[in-house]
Structure formats: structure tokens, C-alpha cells
Amino acid sequence: MTQPWAVRPETAADRAAVRRVVTEAFPTPAEADLVDALRADPAWLPGLSWVATGPGGEIAGHALLTRCRIAEPGGRAGDAVALAPVAVRPARQRTGAGTAVVGAALDAARRAGETLAVVLGDPAYYPRFGFVPASRFGVRAPFEVPADALMALPLRDGPVPAGTIRYPAPFGV
Ligand SMILES: CC(C)(COP(=O)(O)OP(=O)(O)OC[C@H]1O[C@@H](n2cnc3c(N)ncnc32)[C@H](O)[C@@H]1OP(=O)(O)O)[C@@H](O)C(=O)NCCC(=O)NCCS
């Protein structure tokens, strides 16, 4: 059942709880390790790591946007933000926490003047936020992906960068 979720940017005090949520949501600790590595990377964008909290203030969901670049080979590179990972505690999934925390993180990116968000994920989930196939903008992944799994969302009016995504180093791609 969908319920209202409070959302806010993460604070330094949330790090352990975020790690627990991300660890629980995925089969291996790889995504939790990725979040911790991104926190120590220049790609980390203060204010764009968001949490959804339950009635007692406990963290149930997390969404992270970090800096990536998009460039044509030999051409100009433009800034974008990569949405990854998104995690909701299994016991709280399908109650609206993911929708609330992803929406809030994207709104914060809009307020910060970001141009474009990209996500590699389930094409059944992300269109609710306005994501469309990234190919519409000439945006490609640096590896083979199913065409509809790479999605992009312009965050303001005007041109968006085209080309291949360069993910932050901790993604290891
Ligand atoms: C994917 C995830 C973040 C969604 O968060 P959530 O809080 O469970 O989702 P919400 O409650 O906001 O949204 C529920 C809706 O999304 C759909 N949905 C949930 N998870 C989905 C998934 N993996 N694929 C497709 N649709 C999904 C539900 O069918 C539901 O649809 P409805 O609103 O039409 O009823 C969460 O399930 C999760 O953490 N999964 C494990 C980790 C993961 O796969 N993360 C995403 C890749 S980085």
C-alpha cells in the first residue's frame, strides 16, 4: 500500500543506515560499496543523496545522483547526473518510498541547475519520473545494454549533451 514518505538529503549521521538499506536491497554488497566509494570521489554532489524515512525517522529508501559526463568521441563533453543506485528496504518495497525518494533527488538536481539525468534500469519503473529512452537524445552507454534500459530525463529547458556516458571511476566501467 502506498503511504506518504518523508524525504530529505542524507546527512553524515545517515551513512551507516544508508549502507544497511542498500545492502539489504541488493543480493551482494557491491552497490553499498559503490555508494561508499562514490562518497569519497570527486563525482559526489553534495545535496543529491536523498533518503526516505518512516514514521520513527528510520531510513527506508535511498537514491543517489552523482556527476557523470557525456561526450562524443573527440567532441565537447557535457555534465549530467547518473541516478544509481536506488534502494528500498525489502520490507518497505512497493509502498511508494522509491517513488518519493527518486522524485525528491531529481527535484533537488533541477534546483541545482543540472541539465540531464541518466539511469540504467528497469524500463517499467523509471518512465514514471519522465525518463525516456536515452537514444532520443543521442546518449549511449559505454558498454552493451538493452536499448530500452538506458534512459534519460532533461532537468531543464534547452539543449542536452549527446554522446557516450563517462561514469565516475567507482562504477568501474
Ligand atoms: C526498485 C525499487 C527501488 C523500487 O522502489 P519501491 O519503493 O519498491 O517502489 P515504489 O513503491 O515507489 O513503486 C512501486 C511501483 O513500482 C513498481 N516496481 C517496483 N519495483 C519495480 C521493479 N524492480 N521493476 C519494475 N517495477 C517496479 C511496482 O509495480 C509499483 O507499480 P505501481 O505504482 O504501478 O503499483 C525497490 O523495489 C528496490 O530497492 N529494489 C531492489 C534494488 C533495485 O533493483 N534497485 C533499482 C536498480 S538500481
Asked if residue 85 has its Cβ within 6 Å of ligand 1, the reply is yes
Please indicate, yes or no, if residue 134 is contained in any of the structural domains: yes
- Give me the number of domains the chain comprises: 1
Please indicate, yes or no, if residue 160 is contained in any of the structural domains: yes
Q: Which among 162, 143, 141 has a CA at the least distance from the CA of 70? A: 162
Asked if residue 93 has its Cβ within 6 Å of ligand 1, the reply is yes
pLDDT digits (tens, 9 = 90+) for 91-131: 999 999 999 999 999 999 999 999 999 999 999 999 999 99
CA-CA distance, 135 to 125, in Å (whole number)?
18
Q: Which residues of 138-154 are buried (b: 16+ CB within 10 A; e: fewer)?
A: ebbbeeeeeeeebbbbb
Asked if residue 96 has its Cβ within 6 Å of ligand 1, the reply is yes
Please indicate, yes or no, if residue 102 is contained in any of the structural domains: yes
Average predicted confidence (pLDDT) for the chain = 96
Note the pTM of the prediction, 2 decimals: 0.96
Contact between residue 148 and residue 123 where contact means Cβ atoms under 8 Å apart: yes
CA-CA distance, 119 to 163, in Å (whole number)?
15
DSSP structure string for 115-155: -EEEEES-TTTGGGGT-EEGGGGTEE-SS---GGGEEEEE-
Q: C-alpha distances in angstroms, 53 versus 23, 24, 57? A: 17, 16, 5
The fraction of the chain above a pLDDT of 70, given in percent, is 99
User: Side chain identity at 34, as an amino acid letter?
Assistant: L
Q: Which among 166, 162, 65 has a CA at the least distance from the CA of 106? A: 65
1 pLDDT more than 70: no
- State the residue range of the domain holding 100: 6-171
Please indicate, yes or no, if residue 68 is contained in any of the structural domains: yes
Going from the Cα of 73 to the center of ligand 1, the distance in angstroms, rounded, reads: 35
Please indicate, yes or no, if residue 1 is contained in any of the structural domains: no
Please indicate, yes or no, if residue 162 is contained in any of the structural domains: yes
| pLDDT at 3 (0 to 100) | 74
- Grid cell listed for 125: 519503473
Provide the 3-class DSSP secondary structure of residue 7: strand
Q: Within a 10 A sphere around the Cβ of 16, how many other Cβ atoms? A: 9
Asked if residue 26 has its Cβ within 6 Å of ligand 1, the reply is yes
CATH no. for residue 54? 3.40.630.30
| pLDDT at 53 (0 to 100) | 98
